[in-house]
Amino acid sequence: MQMNLRFKGMESTDALKDYFKERIAKVKKHVPVNTVMNVTLAKEKVQGQVEVSFRYNGKSIVAAERSEDMYNAIDTVVDKISRQVAKAKERARSRTSNTIREISTS
């Protein structure tokens, strides 16, 4: 998976990059290799914002979170993304199994 990390209104730090990559690793194993993930880490006044978006099985997966603690925002966004990917994966699996059942009963 290719990640486009963009920092807005703040300095790019290796600590934040590494933390995000470490946390997103659990999602990476469920997403195809050719996926492009766009990540924006922004700082506005005292609040930090993390936005993540990418396409998975033809659906747009988008999550955003604001928090005073950037690490907390990253954790929350990764949890949101994990739930959305799991839900999309389950929907694709149920559609496939329903189609197979309909064909076999015909």
Closest listed residue to residue 62, CA positions, set 50, 51, 71: 51
Mean pLDDT computed over 69-87: 95
Closest listed residue to residue 25, CA positions, set 3, 49, 48: 3
pTM over 0.85: no
Mean pLDDT computed over 94-104: 66
pLDDT of residue 81 exceeding 60: yes
Q: What is the pLDDT of residues 23-48, one digit of tens each?
A: 999 898 889 889 999 999 999 888 99
The whole-angstrom separation of Cα 105 and Cα 3 is 44
Q: What is the pLDDT of residues 56-70, one digit of tens each?
A: 888 899 999 999 999
Closest listed residue to residue 72, CA positions, set 45, 44, 41, 37: 41
Question: Which domains occur in the chain, in start order?
Answer: 2-105 (3.30.160.100)
